[in-house]
Chain A
């Protein structure tokens, strides 16, 4: 079944790196996503990783996937004030008609 867990809150100083973690339970997940939600806005796709990959880097974003532990992380390098948002991880598997989302992790960047 689908069950995605995330921690709730992270504060980080501007310029530091921030790491957001997520665990999932569906071992057949094929794609894992990170979405960003700024205040009052919808969800914006940040990046995704295919389950046969261990790492994906996209500019300041690095996604790490530990399939054995079903653990997904998002590292944001050189965190900026514009990175303050709620970050959701989500998993998608073949045959499912929906994404299963975690509860989100609020990141607050302190200038």
Chain B
């Protein structure tokens, strides 16, 4: 079946511009995660959505970062006034979160963001 998809696959922008990154999770998955992978670094948790609950935004690095999840499905990560340090691969993952472990996360291919 279809996996997690992300768009665009690559995004080059100028410093100070806003960008929107999109994630389409696996159908039926109630949990959705955003991570950031910087060069040579592991994955940094950004935000987590679970159903209709308030999202866990504890990983967002600054107030320039925000995310929405509409209708419990598609999610958009928005970065305002981009900075060069925002350059990274942004990965989205979804999981079934059935309440029974393990709650395996399935990842999309990522969006590579380059801020010039």
Contact = CB atoms under 8 A, between A and B. Distances in A.
A42 B107 CA distance: 6
B102 A48 contact: yes
A29 to B, nearest CB: 11
Nearest to B50: A97
Contact of A97 (B6, B42, B56, B104): B56
Contact of A101 (B43, B102, B110): B43
Interface string A76-95: 00000000000010101010
Contacts of B4: 42
Contacts of A40: 109
B56 to A, nearest CB: 5
> Interface size class for chain B?
20 to 34
Nearest to A48: B102
Contacts of A98: 33, 45, 48, 56, 59
Interface string B4-40: 1010000000000000000000000000010100001
Among A30, A97, A102, residue most surrounded by chain B Cβ atoms (within 10 Å): A97
Interface residues of A, number: 26
Interface of B: 4, 6, 33, 35, 40-43, 45, 48, 50, 56, 59, 91, 93, 101-110
Interface of A: 4, 6, 30-31, 33, 35, 40-45, 48, 50, 88, 90, 92, 94, 97-104
30 contacts: A4-B42, A31-B101, A33-B102, A40-B109, A42-B6, A42-B91, A42-B109, A43-B93, A43-B107, A45-B105, A45-B106, A48-B102, A50-B102, A88-B42, A90-B43, A92-B101, A92-B102, A92-B103, A94-B101, A97-B56, A98-B59, A99-B43, A99-B105, A100-B45, A101-B35, A101-B43, A102-B42, A103-B40, A103-B41, A104-B42
